[in-house]
Amino acid sequence: MNSLKVRAVSGIVYVALLVTALLLSSDVLFLLLFAFMGGSMIIEFNRLTLVNRLHPFRIVLDIVATIWGVYATSRYVCGAESIQIFIPYFLYIAYAFSRTIFADLAQGTRTVGNVLTAQVYIALPLFITTAVSYQPDGSFDGTFALLVFVLIWLNDTGAYLVGSTLGKHKLYPQVSPKKSVEGLIGGFFFTLLFSLFIPSILPSLERFDLFTAPLLGLVVAVMGTLGDFFESALKRKAGVKDSGKIIPGHGGVLDRLDSYLFALPMASMLYFWLY
C-alpha cells in the first residue's frame, strides 16, 4: 500500500473514531479514546521537549494524572462526585513543585515547568472537552467538541487549497515554511462561511446565532493556526518532522490535535457564555 493510501485509510479511521466517540456512542468510548490520546500526547510532548533525556517514571505520572483528570471531570460535571475527586490530581501537581525542594534548583525548575506546560497545553483542553460534553443530568453530548474539530478541518482544508494554488507570500517561514498568507485567508474564509450555517445545521446548539456562530469560527481559525505554529516550533527545536509515528501517514497524535488543543479552550469560553 503506497503512502497516499496509508494516509487516507488512517485518516478515515481517525475521523470515524472521533465521530463515534463524540456522537454515536456511550461515554465509555469517549473516555477510553481521550484517555489514550491524552497519554499518547504526553509521551510525544516529552520526546519533543526532553529529546533523549526522558524520565519514564515522571512521564507515567503525567499520563496517570491526565487520565484521572479526564475521568474526574466527567464524574464531577455529572454530579456523581464532589470536588474532592480532583485531590489526587492536585497532589500530583504539588509533587511536581516539590521537585524544586529535593532536587537541584535548576533541574527542579525545568521539571516543574515541563510538567505544568504539559498539563496546561495537553491535559486542560481534554478536561474542558469533557466538561462541555457531559451534562449535569448525566447525559453525554459531544456535538460541540466535534464541531470544533470540523471547523479546524475546514480551516486546514481551505488553507491547503488556497495556499497550494495562490500562495505567494510566506506567513512564518522560520517555523512553518509551507504556510502562506493567502492560505491563511483561505482557511479563515472556509471556516467563517461554514459557521454561518451552524444555527440551521445543528439545532442542538440553538443559542449560536448569525453573530456568535461566525465569532466561534473566527476564534477556532485563529487559535487553531496558533496551535499549529506552536507545535511546529516544538518540532523544529527538537529537530524532528513528526511528534510520533502512531498514526500511519500522519505522524503522532499531537500532530493531529495541535490546533484543537489551542482552539477548544477559547471556543469553550464562548460556549459557556451562551450555555
pLDDT tens-digit series, residues 30-69: 999 999 999 999 999 988 887 445 578 888 888 999 999 9
Pair (249, 133) in one structural domain: no
E strand residue ranges, 53-186? 170-172, 176-180
Pair (92, 147) in one structural domain: no
- For residue 48, being part of any structural domain is answered with yes
What is the spatial distance between Cα 233 and Cα 226, in angstroms, rounded to a whole number? 10
Pair (33, 126) in one structural domain: yes
Nearest to 134 by CA among 78, 201, 175: 78
- For residue 20, being part of any structural domain is answered with no
Q: Supply the range of the domain harboring residue 153.
A: 142-274
What is the per-residue pLDDT for 271?
Answer: 94
Sorting pLDDT into bands at 50, 70 and 90, what band is 219? very high
Pair (146, 116) in one structural domain: no
pLDDT tens-digit series, residues 223-260: 999 999 999 999 998 888 899 888 887 889 999 999 99
Number of structural domains (the chain) is: 2
Pair (148, 243) in one structural domain: yes
Longest dimension (CA), the chain: 58
Pair (149, 264) in one structural domain: yes
**Who's near 105: CB < 8 A, 6+ residues apart?**
none
| Whole-model pTM over 0.95 | no
Do the bridges between strand 170-172 and strand 176-180 make them parallel or antiparallel, or are there none, so unpaired? antiparallel
Q: Of the candidates 120, 140, 160, which is a domain's last residue?
A: 140
pLDDT tens-digit series, residues 129-187: 999 999 888 889 999 999 999 999 999 999 999 998 988 889 888 888 889 999 999 99
Nearest to 3 by CA among 248, 256, 246, 242: 248
Pair (102, 74) in one structural domain: yes
Task: List Cα–Cα distances, 251 to 8, 123, 129, 134, 256, in angstroms.
Answer: 13, 20, 23, 30, 8
Pair (154, 212) in one structural domain: yes
Q: Of the candidates 140, 162, 195, which is a domain's last residue?
A: 140
Q: Which amino acid is at 268?
A: S
Q: Of the candidates 112, 140, 168, which is a domain's last residue?
A: 140
- For residue 2, being part of any structural domain is answered with no
Pair (97, 159) in one structural domain: no
- For residue 162, being part of any structural domain is answered with yes
Pair (67, 168) in one structural domain: no
What SS3 state is found at 171? strand
Residue 106 has pLDDT above 70, yes or no: no
Pair (103, 148) in one structural domain: no
Mean pLDDT of all residues belonging to the chain: 89
- For residue 60, being part of any structural domain is answered with yes
Pair (136, 147) in one structural domain: no
- For residue 132, being part of any structural domain is answered with yes
